[in-house]
Amino acid sequence: MATPESTIHKAEPADIPEIADIERKAFPDPWNEETLVEALATYPGEFFVARNNGRIVGFVAGGLEDTGEEVYGHIMNLAVAPECRGRGVGARLVRRLEQQFALGGAAGVQLEVRVGNTGAQRFYHRMGYQEVFVVACYYANDEDAVVMMKWFRF
């Protein structure tokens, strides 16, 4: 069970099996370990885990994107172990990643979420994100994605 003592750390390659286990419990089309390893290798500074009593209870994987005109953060994956949800772990992970994006010069953050994943949409609303548009057939099963954004104000 997660308690307020959950702490946030940069992810390490040795964390991947535990992360993959949470990923499998969270999504119908989970990233496999290879994809998780690749995300960590590509964006090692923007992949965080939450630990509680030595166990990983959640993770967030992001990346800084530079369009040439603007730098923004992209939340690519986020999940909390089912038995540890509703205790602030997801919020803590997202805030830590947002801090990293801000330090990297991002103007804001973007993410995609399944139209059917209304729980996650409500979570992101609570975190200050707004829907900006829908991308048709974004996912492998042709489900649409809601694109949500949050702008930093300095």
Which distant-in-sequence residues (6+ apart) come within 8 Å of 71 by Cβ?
64, 65, 104, 105, 106, 107
> Contact letters (x/-) for ligand COA, 60-99, by CB under 6 A?
------------------xxx----xxxxxxx--------
Given a contact cutoff of 8 angstroms between Cβ atoms, the answer to whether 6 and 92 are in contact is yes
Chain mean position to CA 42: 15
Q: Judged by CB, which is closer to ligand COA: 1, or 68? A: 1
34/16 Cα distance (integer angstroms)? 9
Among 119, 130, 135, 137, binds ligand COA (CB under 6 A): 119
CA angle 139, 147, 92 (to 5 degrees): 100
Any contact of residue 146 with ligand COA (CB under 6 A)?
Answer: no
Q: Judged by CB, which is closer to ligand COA: 105, or 126? A: 126
> Contact letters (x/-) for ligand COA, 11-50, by CB under 6 A?
---------------x------------------------
